[in-house]
Amino acid sequence: MKFNKVLSLMIVGAALCIGGVSVYANVNAIQGEDIELNNLQSDDIEPNAQQSDAIENIGVRSQNLVISDVKISQSNGTYERVWSQPKGWKYYRFYVKNTTGTKVNVQIQQNGYNQNYNLSANASNVWTQSAAVAGDHKIVVSTSDGRKFTGDVSVRIADAPF
């Protein structure tokens, strides 16, 4: 019995040693690649000013939460909120959580055009729009039978795809 334990420990030790050599070899390979990259000419690398401009442009992809209402309780069964979609910002995403015991209709109104979505009782969903026009938009959530709407609603706008 002791012989089997000793043999098992020797096999595990040998496997760890082989694995350690393998890892050490990979580290050396990576360092070799780094050395090759250090031999690039200065013309191959963008100047720092251009690199920082590129990083700042990433910040243009902003996402703003314009509506965030939780634990809504509308006695007349209809919830309405308006947000302003900035020019050039083509994207918005809206989330509705319906904790009412009946289905609700979610309507987005923009420039005389209405989009309707249905949401089952005690359910939630997220919808995304990718061709929004600038200007005021309205989200209207109403219950199917006029009872009190309860739940959460949020709208997030963006200048780039979600």
pLDDT for 22 equals 47
- What digits encode the pLDDT tens for the residues 8-31? 666 756 666 555 544 444 444 444
pLDDT for 115 equals 95
Percent of the chain with pLDDT over 70: 62
pLDDT for 111 equals 87
Residues in the chain: 162
- 23: helix, coil or strand? helix
pTM value surpassing 0.75: no
Task: Compute, in degrees rounded to 10, the torsion defined by CA atoms 68, 71, 77, 82.
Answer: -10
159, β-bridge pairs: none
Least Cα distance to 96 among 113, 110, 112, 81 occurs for: 81
Pairing of the two strands 104-110 and 113-119: antiparallel
Which helix (H) or strand (E) element contains residue 17?
helix 2-37
- Are 69 and 153 in contact by the 8 Å Cβ rule? The answer is yes
> 159 falls in which pLDDT band (50, 70, 90)?
very high
